[in-house]
Amino acid sequence: MHLGTACDGRLVTFTADLAVSGAATAAMNGPAAGGGPVGGSAGGGRGSACRGQQSTVATGPARLGPVRTITGHAGQQTLAALRPFGVDTMFTLNGGHVWPFYEAARDQGVRIVDTRHEQTATFAAEAYAKLTRSPGLAVLTAGPGITNGVSAMTTAWFNGSPVVVLGGRAPQGRWGAGSLQELDHVPIVASVTKHAATVTDASKAGLVVHEAAALAMTPHRGPVFLDFPLDVFGPAEGELPDGVNLTSEAPDPAAVQAVGALIAGAERPAFIVGSDVYWAGAWDALAAAAGALRVPCYFNGLGRGCLSADHELAFLRTRGLLKQEADLVVVIGAPLDFRLGFGRFGTARVAHLVDSASQQAGHVEVTTAAGDLAAILTALSDRGGDRVDHEPWIARLRDAEAAAAERDRALCESDAHPIRPARIYGELNQRLERDAVVICDGGDFASYAGKLVEVHQPGCWLDTGPYGCLGNGPGYAIAARAARPSSQIVALLGDGAAGFSLMDADTLVRHDLPVVMIVGNNGIWGLEKHPMQAIYGWDVACDLQPGCRYDEVVRALGGAGETVIEPEEIGPALDRAFSAGVPYLVNVLTDPADVYPRSSNLA
C-alpha cells in the first residue's frame, strides 16, 4: 500500500512492500451498508487530509505470495494474521462487540490482560510493542471504548510505536438505525494512525490485518486502527500470507557520504541518539560507529540504553554544552522537535539521520540521510579516510560530565526536609539492576529521572514521549511485567499523574504483576505552578491534596505500600517494595518549593 498526502506544503510518503492481495484493500474500502456510512472509506494519519488538503489512497498492483487458508470468523482470521508478527498478548477491557477476538485469543494461545480503562489497555499495548519490538495489540469495544483509547493512540503516533488497535463496531446491516454505541470511529482516529479503516468482508479479514500490522512495523513505524462490525463475525474462510516480509528504505549513498564528511571534518561533534535507533535494532551498529569515529553520544527516549551509560562515549549530564561548544550535532532517529531545540544547537551544524524520508524536518535546513538506520551507521563506521582528532573534545566533555555528576551526587544525598526529589533517585540508583525497566509518568518528578537515572541496556527506559500525555505509567508497568517477568519494574509517578490511572493497580493485582511504583508527592502541579508564579506572580488550579495517601489506594486494591516523610526512610522503603512480590507503592512526600531546572522551549 502506498499512502501519500500533502501536509504543511510538503509531500509525505509511506510505502509498505508487502506480499498481499489488492483484495485486502478492497475489504477495507468496502461500500457502506444500510444506507449510511460504515467507515468503509479508509483513512490514515499521514495519508489523510491535513489542514484542509485532500487525502489520497492509491493501491499498487495485486501481488499475492504464498498463502494459507484460515477457516473461522473474522476474529479467528485476525489473530492468525497477528501471531506470525510475534503478537502473544492482548490488552483490552471487556465489551460485547469484541468477544469474537477473545474467543480467537483463547483458541490460539494469546494471553488476555484486561484493564480498568481503555486508555490503560492502549498504553499497555504501546509499551509491549516498545519492549518486544513487535506489534502491540489493543482490543477496544465500540464507541466509548475506542474514544477512551484515543490519547494513548496519539501517544503511540508521536512515539512511532507499532500498535495494532482493533475496535468493535455497531452492525453494518443496521447502520443508521441507532444501534448501541453506533459511531464511525475511523475519522476520529485517522489523523493519529498510519491507517484507519473498517473491515467489511470477513473472508478478507486476515489479509487486511496482515497488511495493517506490516504497515505498523514498516519505518517510520506507528499505530494502525481497524474496526469490525458485529455482523462481520459470521462463519468465513480466507487466505492469509504465509509469513512476514518487512522491508525498510535503502539509504542514498551520497547522502550518507555527506554526513560522513561532516563528521570527519568536525572538531567537536556529537551524536544524539533517539528511539528509532532502538526500533531498528541498531545499537550494535551505533556502538561500532561511535567507536570508529570517536563521537560522544547523548540520548533521547528509547535511545537511552542503546549505548550503556557507563560506556566511555556515553554522556548524560552535559548536553547543554552542545549549544555552546559543539561544531556538529548529528541527530539519529529522533525528530527535531522542542526536546532538541527544534534542530538548532547554537552555531553547530546539524545533520539528521532518519528511518524514512517522511521524517525529514520541514522547518529547518539540515543535512539529512534517510533509510535503514543500521545500514547508515554501518556505512559511516566503514567510511575510510582522514578525520580530525576528537580526543580533546571527548576529554573536555568527560571532565564536565564528572563535575556535573559530583554536583548531582550532593543533591542525591541531600538530607533536606521536606525531601528533595533528587534524594529519591539517589536511593533508587543504588538498587537498580542493569536490566531494570524504568517508566516515567509525570512532569517535574519524571524530569528528574531523565537527569539522574542511568540506563544500561536497550529497551529499559519508557517515558511518555513528545506528546506528554500523563497516565501512561500503570499501563506501561502492566506491559513491562508481562514482557519482562524477571526484571525489576519501576514506575515513577508524579502525584498529578497518579490521579489519571492509579485504579489500574487493580489490574496489576488481578493479573499477579508485581511492580514498584514511586510517587513523588509534592501536592501540586509543579510543572504549572512554578512557571505561573514566575510569569504572573500568582497561580490557580495548581494545588492538589497535600500528603494524599496514594499508597492506601493501592493497599485497598489488594497491593501494598507506605508513605515516606523522612529522607533516611526512602532506602528501606524501596527495599521493602522490591522484595514484596506484589504491586507496591512508595508515596514520598517531597518539597513543593523544589523547582526543576528546566531550560527547554516547549513551544
Tens digit of pLDDT for each residue in 7-32? 332 222 222 333 333 334 334 433 33
Unique residue bearing C-alpha cell 516515567 = 440
pLDDT of residue 169: 97
Q: From CA 491, how far away is CA 123, in angstroms rounded? A: 13
Give the separation between CA 166 and CA 97, rounded to whole angstroms: 11
Q: Decide if 213 contacts 1 (C-beta within 8 A).
A: no
Would you say the CATH fold of 413-589 matches that of 253-397? yes
> Across residues 376-404, what is the average pLDDT?
95
pLDDT exceeds 50 at position 4: no
Q: Which residue shows C-alpha cell 494471553? A: 111
The bridge status of strand 10-15 relative to strand 2-7 is antiparallel
Q: Tell the CATH topology of 413-589.
A: Rossmann fold (3.40.50)
Q: Which amino acid is at 539?
A: D
Centroid of chain to Cα 435: 19
Given a contact cutoff of 8 angstroms between Cβ atoms, the answer to whether 421 and 448 are in contact is: yes
From the list 462, 454, 456, 440, the residue with the least C-alpha distance to 409 is: 454
Cα separation, 67 vs 348, in Å, equals: 52
What gap in Å lies between CA 306 and CA 314, rounded to an integer?
A: 10
Q: What percentage of the chain carries pLDDT values higher than 90?
A: 86
Query: Structural domain boundaries of the chain?
Result: 2-241, 253-397, 413-589
Residue 100 CA to chain centroid, in angstroms? 28
The answer to whether 183 touches 171, Cβ cutoff 8 Å, is no
What order do you get walking across the sheet with 349-354 strand by strand?
297-299, 269-273, 328-332, 349-354, 367-370
Burial of 541 (0-12, 13-18, 19+ CB in 10 A): exposed
Tens of pLDDT, residue by residue over 246-305, are: 988 999 999 999 999 999 999 999 999 999 999 999 999 999 999 999 999 999 999 999
Q: What's the gap between Cα 506 and its chain centre?
A: 23
How many CA atoms, within 13 angstroms, populate the side-chain half-sphere of residue 143?
A: 13
- What is the model's pLDDT at position 599? 66
The model's pLDDT over 163-215, given as tens digits with 9 standing for 90+, comes to 999 999 999 999 999 999 999 999 999 999 999 999 999 999 999 999 999 99
- CATH entry, 2-241, from 3.20.20.70, 1.10.10.970, 3.40.50.970, 3.30.1540.20: 3.40.50.970
The mean per-residue pLDDT over the stretch 406-410 comes to 95
Mean pLDDT of the chain: 90
What is the mean pLDDT of the segment spanning 464-474? 96
Sign of CA dihedral 99, 154, 56, 38: positive
Q: What is the 3-state secondary structure (H, E, C) of 286-323?
A: HHHHHHHHCCCEEECHHHCCCCCCCCCCECCCCCHHHH
CA distances for 569 relative to 417, 586, 598, angstroms: 12, 11, 28
pLDDT in tens, 335-361: 999 999 999 999 999 999 999 999 999
pLDDT for res 66? 83
Asked whether residue 364 carries a pLDDT value surpassing 50, the answer given is yes
Tell me the average pLDDT across 466-470: 95
pLDDT for 54 beyond 80:
no
| Cis? peptide before 352, omega within 30° of 0 | no
SS3 214: helix
Smallest CA-to-CA distance from 150 within 112, 184, 178, 123 is with 123
CATH of domain 253-397: 3.40.50.1220
pLDDT digits (tens, 9 = 90+) for 512-562: 999 999 999 999 999 999 999 999 999 999 999 999 999 999 999 999 999
Q: What whole-number distance in Å separates Cα of residue 197 and Cα of residue 47?
A: 12
pLDDT recorded at residue 379: 97
β-bridge pairing 237-241 and 67-71: antiparallel
Q: Are 441 and 473 in contact (CB under 8 A)?
A: yes
Percent over 70 (pLDDT), the chain: 88
Q: What is the pLDDT of residue 22?
A: 37
Does the structure show a pLDDT above 50 at 33?
A: no
